[in-house]
């Protein structure tokens, strides 16, 4: 299949998904870019529901970036313990707060390079912040996005960064952030791991896997 035809096929499939999930959005609760950064760091290997439960009290206890920077690390660890990997997450959050205050005047930057230079921040977290806090194109690749895009034949890549690169080549920048949310919604509702709900999936006729549900 030519690149032009593949792009057209992907956009046609995406249009179906856009109609199917008009409500697709970032499920994390936040009031500003800093809170989104914190919530996204906590979301690694954790559900959005759990993160929102934790941040509801976390942001009351530490209302400003400076409060995270000055917090006792053990107290911060305990506050985020239920999200898993709490020591690394607490260290990353506090480190990011300190760097932002020292080098960025307490302002969350708007570039990928500056964001990934922060402690505890990878490309996924950076792209979440760019796309949702600043409306700057960012393709977020989590396990759902990777799985669904491979099953749909949009990519054969297996690493998040490679999937991100291929999806960005297929889609116009203005679609990146929304597409991430849509694929996450579809992955949770139909294209589940390890077994997808193919018999009721609205994309069955367009899926090259034709009901083969083994996770890739």
Model confidence at 82, pLDDT cuts 50, 70, 90, reads very high
Nearest of 44, 46, 119, 37 to residue 82 by alpha carbon: 46
Domains and CATH numbers, the chain: 3-24+139-206 (1.10.1670.10), 33-133 (1.10.340.30)
pLDDT in tens, 99-116: 999 999 999 999 999 999
pLDDT in tens, 122-151: 999 999 999 999 999 999 999 999 999 999
Share of the chain above pLDDT 70, in %: 97
Q: What angle do CA 21, 27, 32 make, to 5 degrees?
A: 125
pLDDT in tens, 150-173: 999 999 999 999 999 999 999 999
Q: Please, what is the average pLDDT of the chain?
A: 95
Q: In angstroms, how far is CA 3 from the centroid of its own chain?
A: 26
> For residues 26 and 23, what is the distance between their CA atoms, to the nearest angstrom?
10
Secondary element (H or E) of residue 80: helix 73-80
Nearest of 148, 160, 150 to residue 189 by alpha carbon: 148
- Output b/e per residue, 146-169; b: 16+ Cβ within 10 A: bbbbbbbbbbebeebeebbebbbe
Model confidence at 210, pLDDT cuts 50, 70, 90, reads low
pLDDT of 60 strictly over 80: yes
pLDDT of 176 strictly over 90: yes
Give the mean pLDDT of 176-182: 97
Position 216 scores a pLDDT of 45
3-state DSSP assignment of residue 39: helix
Candidate list 91, 142, 178, 192, residue with the active-site label: 142
> For residues 75 and 78, what is the distance between their CA atoms, to the nearest angstrom?
5
pLDDT in tens, 198-208: 999 999 999 88
| DSSP classification of residue 98 | H
Position 1 scores a pLDDT of 75
Q: Give catalytic status of residue 124 as yes or no.
A: yes
pLDDT of 214 strictly over 60: no
180 contacts 25 by C-beta, under 8 angstroms: no
Nearest of 117, 141, 120, 138 to residue 129 by alpha carbon: 138
Candidate list 124, 175, 178, 192, residue with the active-site label: 124
pLDDT of 196 strictly over 60: yes
**Range list of β-strands (E), 70-114:** none
């Amino acid at each position: 299949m030519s690149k032009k035809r593949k792009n057209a096929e992907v956009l046609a499939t995406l249009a179906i998904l856009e109609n199917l999930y008009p409500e697709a959005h970032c499920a994390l609760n936040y009031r500003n870019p800093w809170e989104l950064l914190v919530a996204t760091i906590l979301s690694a290997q954790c559900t959005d529901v759990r993160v929102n439960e934790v941040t509801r009290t976390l942001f009351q206890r530490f209302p400003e970036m400076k409060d995270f920077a000055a917090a006792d690390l053990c107290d911060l660890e305990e506050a985020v313990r239920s999200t898993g990997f709490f020591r690394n997450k607490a260290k990353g959050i506090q480190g990011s707060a300190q760097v932002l205050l020292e080098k960025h005047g307490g302002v969350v930057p708007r570039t990928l390079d500056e964001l990934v230079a922060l402690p505890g921040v990878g490309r996924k977290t950076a792209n979440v912040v760019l796309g949702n806090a600043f409306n700057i194109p960012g393709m977020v690749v989590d396990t759902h996005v990777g799985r669904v895009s491979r099953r749909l034949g949009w990519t054969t890549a297996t690493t998040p960064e490679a999937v991100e690169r291929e999806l960005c080549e297929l889609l116009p920048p203005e679609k990146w952030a929304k597409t991430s949310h849509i694929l996450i919604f579809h992955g949770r509702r139909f294209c589940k791991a390890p077994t997808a709900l193919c018999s009721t999936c609205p994309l069955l006729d367009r899926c090259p896997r034709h009901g083969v549900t083994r996770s890739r």
